[in-house]
Amino acid sequence: MFSFTRPSAAQTQAHIFRQQHLPYSYTETGFTQRDEKVKGYDNDLNFIELGKGEATWQTAKNAIRQWIMFPASWAFIRPQQAPIHPGTVVAMSARVCGVWWINACRIVYTFDEPDRFGFAYGTLPGHVEMGEEIFMVERLPDGMVRYVIKAFSRPRFWMARMAYPLARWYQRRFVRDSKAAMLQYIQQQQV
């Protein structure tokens, strides 16, 4: 679904309502947990170091809970502060070439371990892409905390297939801006 203006809460909620009981738009549900690449998809793994120590770790986990990783200037999640639980459906809206696209996703799984925290969400039929993405923070043995984005995806909507290089450019832009949003949040909280 697309809009020429920033989608309202009512528009995104209506999109969620239409999508919430539909199946995932791909069959490889949960494959982001595997170490190998998912065949037939673009596979991406990106990370940024956020800092060291317990304070950074707790702040990074809080950032994930608040969906800080979405660059507010051109991408956002509704409902805001959506609970991170398996089955939660969200609308991820992004402005691409002056048009706002509303994309439906459902949280596939979560993890809250001593040194890993985050979740994976998968695309629903109302998404221009198909695939799955992990947003997580992890604490390494030396105490370094890093933010990790891991995904497999491919175009689903015909316009995304036709403009494949542009779609990949926006995916890379999202990764860059997402990492910057996380790092900025960590730095602001530690002042």
- Supply 129's token pair: 């892409």
Let me know: does 154 contact 23? Beta carbons within 8 Å.
no
Per-residue pLDDT averaged across 112-135, rounded?
Answer: 96
Let me know: does 81 contact 100? Beta carbons within 8 Å.
no
Residue 85, pLDDT above cutoff 90: yes
Q: Give me the CATH number covering residue 85.
A: 3.30.530.20
Residue 178, pLDDT above cutoff 70: yes
For position 158, what pLDDT does the model report? 67
Query: Which amino acid does the sequence have at 91?
Result: A
For position 191, what pLDDT does the model report? 67
pTM, 2 dp = 0.93
Q: Containing domain of residue 108, as a range?
A: 2-189
β-strand partners of 132 = 122, 152
For position 142, what pLDDT does the model report? 97
Task: Provide the number of structural domains found in the chain.
Answer: 1
Q: Please, which pLDDT band fits residue 160 given cuts at 50, 70 and 90? A: low
Residue 159, pLDDT above cutoff 80: no
What count of other Cβ atoms lies within 10 Å of the Cβ of residue 143? 12
> Rounded to 10 degrees, what is the CA torsion of 94, 185, 55, 172?
50
Describe the crossing of helices 54-65 and 164-189 by its angle, rounded to 10 degrees. 130
Query: Which amino acid does the sequence have at 156?
Result: R
Per-residue pLDDT averaged across 130-140, rounded?
Answer: 98
Beta-sheet strands, E only, within the chain: 2-3, 42-52, 75-78, 89-96, 99-113, 116-123, 129-139, 144-155
pLDDT > 70 in the chain, percent: 97
For position 15, what pLDDT does the model report? 93
